Structures are given as structure tokens and as C-alpha cells.
Amino acid sequence: MLPCLQSGDYILVAKPIYGPRVFNVFATLRLEQVDIFRIVGLRRVQRNDVLVFNNPYPNNVEKLEMHILKYYVKRCVGLPGDSLSIINGVYTVKGVDGSLGNKEYQKELSMKSEAEIYPDAYSAYPYDSTLNWNIKDFGPLYIPMKGDSIAMNRTNFTLYKRLIEWEQKTKLTYKDSIAFLNNKRIKGYCFKSNYYFMAGDFVVDSKDSRYWGLVPEEYIVGKAWLIWKSEDAVTGKFRWDRFLKLID
């Protein structure tokens, strides 16, 4: 999240803004997957908010699940209902004007050739040879909103398989142009949760939604609000210039 956040920053997370979560903490400490509910907050997530959320793939990149002790801090650039693209490294949302994320580092990425990027870092979600998305040319990806319905074709199966399996707690497969949910044929699907696209400000080197996909609303802990302490990661010296700095 450079330059917004630096190594050695300690931050306060404002949970009441989006509403605190209610779930069985003891079950999550046993690494069990639990139902998560949210108390009504002060407002909804907005574009460019910096969020703290549970790592959606803490154990296996093929399975969306929660680990209560593993977190990410990223900037939300895509909201439920958005259609997001990355064009030559720059984030865009259909029908939305204004900057998304850190433009300076997006421009830096846009000037890099494929050969200048680590091979393992160039390909992007969903790692499909037909779509062939990468971190400079990505999407458009529709970000599902609770209640949205989609046709269950090959593209949607590829893009949303992990989300549907997480919601339904069962397997989704696709064979001979037919989708099967728990071995039952389905022609479409209606989403039960809202999802978000998270991006690191340090675009050229950030493991974010470009690589592992969307984050369910239930995994959002709160808004990264304030740096309450900051120490130089090398010298250990207190950085007074970052003390009580608001996080934008």
C-alpha cells in the first residue's frame, strides 16, 4: 500500500463505519467456517476507501474461506454493481469519472513492457487461456451485487465459480456446456452477497484482486482510519511525521 501505508505503521480500524460483524469467534479460531452477520453501520463502502479485510484465500487459492488471524489492507476500487476494467495498467469503471487508486503507480505500470514484469506477476485472475487477462489488460469484470442473476455459461462459470461455491458450500462443475451445482443442473445463479474489488496502491508489486478475485462483504473488517504509531522498520526509530496521520 505504499505510499499510503509503510512498513512499521500501526493502524486503527474503524469498525462502526460499515457496521461491526457478529460471528462465532471461538469457531473461527478452530479454523471452522462460520456464518457472518453485520450490524447496520454509518455508511456503505465507497470507492477509494482503504479497507482492512480477511484474506479470502489464506490456505488454498482455489477455495474462498476465512482465517480470523490473516488480514489484508487494500483500497477498494470496485463496488457491487460495477463493471471494472484495467486498460494499459489503469483502473476504470464503466460510467464512473475520477481517479481510482494510485494513478502515479498505475502510470508506472503502463510504461512497463511484459518483459519488464516478473512472469509470475503478469498473468491475472481467473488465469484462463480463453479470456487471457493480465495486470495491464483486464476485464471487463462485473462485480456482483446481492440479488444479481447471471446466466451460467462458460465465462461466468470461470469468473464466479469460487464465489458460488463459497455461498452454497458445495461444488460447482461445468461439463459439455452445462453447469452443475452439487450435481444438479443449473441454468443461472442469483448471488446472495455483495462483492468488492481491492487494489494495492503500489500497483507494480501488490497481491490484490487482480490475482485472486473479489472479496465478499462479510470479510470486510472495517475502514483503515488512523496511523496511531509508526516505527522505521530498519532502525526502529519513531516516525513523528506519521503519528496520528489519517489514512486516505
Name which of 220, 199, 182, 196 is nearest 54 in CA terms: 220
All CATH 2.10.109.10 domain ranges in the chain, comma separated: 9-148+191-246
183-232 pLDDT, tens digit per residue, is 999 999 999 999 999 999 999 989 999 999 999 999 999 999 999 999 99
Query: What are 78's strand-pairing partners?
Result: 197
For residue 137, pLDDT beyond 90: yes
Confidence of residue 237 (pLDDT cuts 50, 70, 90): very high
The domain 9-148+191-246 is classified under which CATH number: 1.10.150.170, 2.10.109.10, 3.40.50.970, 3.40.50.800?
2.10.109.10
Confidence of residue 233 (pLDDT cuts 50, 70, 90): confident
Q: Widest CA span of the chain, in angstroms?
A: 62
For residue 27, pLDDT beyond 90: yes
Confidence of residue 119 (pLDDT cuts 50, 70, 90): confident
pLDDT for position 46: 98
What span, in angstroms and rounded, lies between the C-alpha atoms of 151 and 24? 34
76-95 pLDDT, tens digit per residue, is 999 999 999 999 999 999 99
Q: Are 64 and 47 in contact (CB under 8 A)?
A: no
56-72 pLDDT, tens digit per residue, is 999 999 999 999 999 99
Name which of 220, 247, 233, 227 is nearest 20 in CA terms: 220
